[in-house]
Amino acid sequence: MPRPSTVAHYLVERELGRGAMGVVYLARDAKLDRMVAIKALPTDLEENPGRRARFEREARTLAAINHPNIAAIYGIEAAEGSSYLVLELAEGQTLSEKLDGAASTGAPMPLEETLDICGQIAAGVEAAHQRGIIHRDLKPDNVKIRPDGVVKVLDFGIAMSGRSEPQAPVDQGQATVVSTPIPQSPAGATLAGAIVGTPGYMSPEQARGKSVGCAADVWALGCILFECLTGKMAFAGETLADVVAVTLLAEPEWSALPPRTPNRVLTLLAACLEKDQHKRLADAAEARAELARALAELRNPSMGERLSVSLVGEESDDLDRVAGNLSETGPGLVGRESEAGELVRLLEKARLVTVVGAGGCGKSRLATKAGAMARGGYSGGVWLAEMAPAQEVAMPAHLLAISLGVRPSGGRSIRQSLADRIAARPVLLVMDACQHSPGPCAQLAADLLGACPNLRIVATSRDPLGVGREKVFPLAGLAVSRDQGGSEAALLLVERAATAGAVVKEEPETGHHVAHLCRQVQGLPLAIEVVAGLAATMGLGELTARLEERLASKGVAHLERQPAQQVVQLMIDWVYDQLPHVERGLLRRLSLFAGGSTVRSAAAVSGASDSYPDPAADSPAGQSVTQLETRIAEMLTRLAARGLSWKHVGSDAANARFALPDPVVQYARGRLMEATGAGAIAQAHARYWLAFAENAVGKLGGASGAAWGSVLEAEYANLQCAAEVATTSRDTETAGKLDGLLKQFRAWRGI
């Protein structure tokens, strides 16, 4: 197609490049005096409805993502019968050009630069995945590196929405069906059609034309990482057929990796380039975290093996590099921007700030949001430790040591070792859910603040900790409007209702119903999410009427005047009564867990003997997913849609993690105690964890001991609480064995 001279108020200067889905031009924005990139749909494709729809979908895709590592979209324009996307101009080299430059010197890219660049790519991909968007064409040509080092992921032209969905249907006008013989195509060229992606970077499932999910982008990230480390493509060939063949059948040339490649990176590469997508690392967030940890260890080995790094740069052109393990888990925070900013500012003056409020008001999410916002101010990192419910007095110190990777040695106590690790570094600790052990948490905070002059702590609890110079940050419900749906509470209800599958129409009557519901539940986030989960099965008008009927049946005249804790419990009770019998039982069993459960552990406690650990397997990954585990996963996902649990995505289906909010735990535990067979359920729970601990602790001395130790660390709170549940249910034999195994693990771990 001929190059246009102008598009709207953009003055086109020259062509920058072209591909299967469009031509990109350099242009000047005459209104704002800035350079932009303009992507045009080729003339021969403009009249194709399928290609045009894909072009417009790219615009919507980019508009849905706002992240420093993804090139932004400024708008979509039409001129002389053609369509154009106006995009941020990402100046600098493509990663492909950078790799060519390194190849000309006869050496691969430096390790530190590789980890930095790939970590930023992973961060951009993670942001897309959080929006349910799969890139499907991640490759060096689609990565730009600005002169200041900021990486931009480009070209979402064949991206698709949804996780683990089949590849988008291809209309006949745009299909390129790969047949026999397979047409030759150079590696690096994007194929659009029945097979979508770029040979050499597309995953095996893409190459076969099968369903793709986030794991396809993780594969491509692994290919890029391998190429940066070695200067060679992981999967190369002279023809398309050759490239597809090695992708499906061959392994990368592992011997080409530099001898200095850290073990952490080798493990990550193997996980990313697993040909079976169900066994492959499925989460870009985990890849980003592993790259960050490897970069941190490379730059500062003295900070320890488990030190991790997050890259942030939302507020500046230069990327700040800070350490920590904090990530925002569970449903994203809606609203609370002003409170989070206020909490960050308060930390500049106070060394301990405790966020207090009723269960379900959003304390944990506010604290983690503020910690994420404050990362740039703490060169020693922002670290999260979740204080799980347990009677063990030393539990908070154990959990904090595990979170920071501290291993006491030389006769030093846990507290002394924690203080040694933090020392004079500027560090922010987020101690979440301190209400489970307020005394030990308060003492631990006081000891560390006294020993570490640059330490700051954000704690969450039902009540203040009572530590000297503590600043209390009271938290209530979200802001609620009186007669319309534009408040923070209303935005949360509408977003969660949509997530649950409800269709919320933009009508005046809808706004009134939303406002009324939010006002009734006092803007409490958990109560709103639970109500929103019901919106998928009934309209908002019916939901409002049903709520009034429910309150009348319970003898509650004015819900908005009730204590916040009672409001949350009433809403949980309402949803619980709507659950199928089998899901109620699962929820009751989940209340026995501390720190969340995997699909496998939930299935095992539900009576699935084939979900117990296999002593013959020396891999923490375990066996393949069973049919019952698939059903349990579906039920857990439905409970999450109802607002009754939070899902944390793991590396595979069996290890996806679900956690109940604390008020749901309290409610479900109460219902468990009322249920027939509660003692048998408690015993089944304790017996599973005993089998788990016997298997894992028994392998700590083997070649894979470190991997098993990490598994035990992740489940430490569950194991401790299982021992206490066994004691409470008078299963003294199981309790004694669990206590002994926990002592063995603590001795191995040094805590």
List, by residue number, the catalytic residues: 137
* Identity of the residue numbered 122: A
- Find out whether 8 and 79 touch, Cβ atoms under 8 Å: yes
Instruction: Write the DSSP symbol of residue 319.
Output: P
- The dihedral through the CA atoms of 406, 408, 412, 415 has a sign that is positive
- The dihedral through the CA atoms of 557, 563, 568, 572 has a sign that is negative
φ and ψ of 622, to 5 deg: 80, -170
* Identity of the residue numbered 14: R
Round to whole Å and give the CA distance between 523 and 366.
15
* Identity of the residue numbered 255: S
Instruction: Say how far residue 279 (Cα) sits from the centre of its chain.
Output: 18
Round to whole Å and give the CA distance between 243 and 104.
24
How far is the CA of 38 from the CAs of 13, 19, 30, 601, in angstroms? Answer: 10, 13, 14, 51
φ and ψ of 113, to 5 deg: -65, -40
Q: Which tokens in the block code for residue 140?
A: 């060096």
Q: Which tokens in the block code for residue 240?
A: 């398309």
User: In 3D, which of 598, 588, 585 has the Cα closest to residue 718?
Assistant: 598
- Round to the nearest angstrom and report the end-to-end CA distance of the chain: 68
- Find out whether 548 and 556 touch, Cβ atoms under 8 Å: no
Round to whole Å and give the CA distance between 557 and 554.
9
Round to whole Å and give the CA distance between 435 and 387.
8
- Find out whether 242 and 199 touch, Cβ atoms under 8 Å: no
Q: Which tokens in the block code for residue 285?
A: 């967030």
- The dihedral through the CA atoms of 611, 612, 613, 614 has a sign that is negative
How far is the CA of 256 from the CAs of 96, 237, 272, in angstroms? Answer: 19, 17, 17
Residue linked to tokens 């324009």: 77
Q: Which tokens in the block code for residue 213?
A: 């999910």
- Strands of 351-477 (E only): list them: 352-356, 382-386, 427-432, 455-461, 471-474
Round to whole Å and give the CA distance between 575 and 382.
36
Helix 678-697 to helix 662-674 angle (10° resolution) is 120
β-strand partners of 70? 153
